[in-house]
Amino acid sequence: MKLSRRRGARSRRLFPGGPGIFQRMYTRLGCEGRPPHFIVEYHPYTDLTHTIRLREDTAHVRLCDAMSDAPLAAVEAAAALLLGRLYRRRVPEEFLAIYREFSYAARTRRTLLAQRRKRARRIQHLPAGAHHDLAPLYEGLNRRYFAHTLVCPGLGWSTRAWSTQLGCFDPALNQIVINRKLDREGVPDYVVNYVLYHEMLHQKHPVRFARCRREAHSAQFRAEEKLFADYDKALRFLKRLR
């Protein structure tokens, strides 16, 4: 969920009945004063993202178009979450549970995966950076830790240096992207190796959605992560990295 204040517009695909749902949730959450005029539309996001921005007496809402065939209860839950953040109201647990159940449902995940494959921006698969080449590092890690069982995905460096994330495996695009911040002369190979190894574990152990929970780092994942030869040394270096 995000609150967005960005301007700009694309062609609208209005959500029939959307304003009525948001007005009901506005009242249900006990928001004070006269409700704004709601404009609710679908938007082709690449993930289950929803935004709301308040401009004078009009609230502009964009719901991910993956919700176009969602149950009414899931749409109401999404509306409650957005309004709760905008007006700083406590959202009842029932809405949180309904939204989790919808977002983690197998059908929803399949829809989002298919949409992401079509819409998400692929990186240029250029594994050789200024100081580190991901291709031979991947090959060495695959041989040492995975017995050559992994099929090499697209490899590349982020366009910009990320502030927090070190790497990302995107199963929809079948690519591993490493933070450009690590492509420096002062960053040892074992650090890049560790971050790449972590993303390769995501490739081996896909994210699971079960019992309304998202599990990205299972117990098995964490146990295998500690098998990396320079695990402690790499973590110490990364803690000092700025």
Distances (CA, A) of 37 to 53, 74, 134: 12, 21, 51
- Give residue 155's pLDDT: 96
Hey, what CATH class is 2-119 in? alpha beta
With a pLDDT cut of 70, the percent of the chain lying above it is: 91
Fold of 134-240: Zincin-like (3.30.2010)
Give me the residue spans of the domains in the chain: 2-119, 134-240
Tokens for 84, please give them.
């709760």
Question: Bridge partners of 58?
Answer: 37, 55
- Give residue 127's pLDDT: 95
> What is the CB neighbour count within 10 angstroms for residue 149?
8
Q: Count of alpha carbons within 13 Å of 210, Cβ hemisphere only?
A: 6
Rounded Cα gap, residues 66 and 162, in angstroms: 28
pLDDT digits (tens, 9 = 90+) for 43-85: 998 888 999 999 999 999 999 999 998 999 999 999 999 999 9
pLDDT digits (tens, 9 = 90+) for 137-152: 999 999 999 999 999 9
- Give residue 120's pLDDT: 79
Mean pLDDT, all residues of the chain: 89
Rounded Cα gap, residues 30 and 21, in angstroms: 14
pLDDT digits (tens, 9 = 90+) for 185-229: 999 999 999 999 999 999 999 876 554 456 678 889 999 999 999
Evaluate if residue 242 carries a pLDDT over 70.
Answer: no
Question: Bridge partners of 213?
Answer: 210
Q: Count of alpha carbons within 13 Å of 90, Cβ hemisphere only?
A: 2
pLDDT digits (tens, 9 = 90+) for 217-238: 888 999 999 999 999 999 999 9
The pTM for the full model equals 0.65
Nearest-CA neighbor of 160 among 137, 176, 183? 183
With a pLDDT cut of 90, the percent of the chain lying above it is: 69
Residue 5's pLDDT band (cuts 50, 70, 90): very low
